[in-house]
Amino acid sequence: MYIGFDKIGRLLVQESHLAKNAILSGFDLLLKANYFQDREGYFYSAFFNISIGMERMLKLAVVTHHMLADDYQPPSKGQLKGYGHRINELLEKCQSLIKLYAVERSYNFQANAVDSTLVRFFTDFAVFSRYFNFDALRGSGEVKTRDPLFVWFDIARAIYDENTSFRTRERAAEKIMNGMEEKFGANSFTSYLSEDGHPMLLFDVLYAQYFVEKSAPLIIWRLVNILRPVYFLLMELTSIAVHYENDKGIKQMVIPHYEDFFYFLLADKKAIKERKQWLKTFNSECTY
């Protein structure tokens, strides 16, 4: 509970904590995840946390807009449930609100095809892929999407290639090949299977682990920039709410200062690429 907050305000604060920690935890887990190292489980945890955090943050903006437009009346469960877990539709709604409230900031960031792929991935995971493994047990008729681990493999490769020069990739491959020959000898087939069911060569396994590791900070950078405009939208909604509550003589805060929760979305590319911990860094401990 929080002194000085209205009941609705306390609920919105709790939801903000949920969204913030889900996103930050997801980033940490994404940095730990990799293939063929008994670390695939981190992927699922990262996907769960990031999809939940994105959905809840976007819904905070949608709910707050609704309250400001309707004399502080929250939307009904049915109105909010209409979005379901469709992150893409929530993001589109927030983009329309950014225009409505004329939230203009210099983001120094241009969305590209990879960003659309990321939004589609987390939407599909939230709506379809969370139960992929169980659905696949019942046959292909139950499966509405590809295995999310293989989809993510393609995303990681695409963003690594996009952000890394050909010469850098070539040198990395040569280094991996030389190290493999020194440690294991000749290239050979492994027990790991590709998506089409063929055994993977040792080099392919090692190179996959390499580009997945290198792509993780880059993917976090893209996710941060996808959500950054929503951060500024939430700031604007908070500002409007402060004036509204003052004008109406509302003594207990209803709309929290969202900027206090999501300021990690202001990180620049260099800081994002270097950061090894997110949750611990942006969750300061308060002791009495």
Contact criterion met (CB below 8 Å) for 108 and 266 = no
pLDDT band at 47; cut points 50, 70, 90: very high
What single DSSP character describes residue 140? G
Q: Note the pLDDT tens digit of each residue in 160-199.
A: 999 999 999 999 999 999 999 888 888 999 999 999 999 9
**Residue ranges of E strands in 60-194:** 189-193
pLDDT band at 129; cut points 50, 70, 90: confident
Rg, C-alpha atoms of the chain: 22
pLDDT band at 30; cut points 50, 70, 90: very high
Lowest mean pLDDT among 80-94, 204-218, 269-283: 80-94
Q: Give Cβ neighbours of residue 286 (< 8 Å, ≥ 6 apart).
A: none
Q: What is the mean pLDDT of residues 141-157?
A: 86
pTM value? 0.91
pLDDT of 17 over the 90 cut: yes
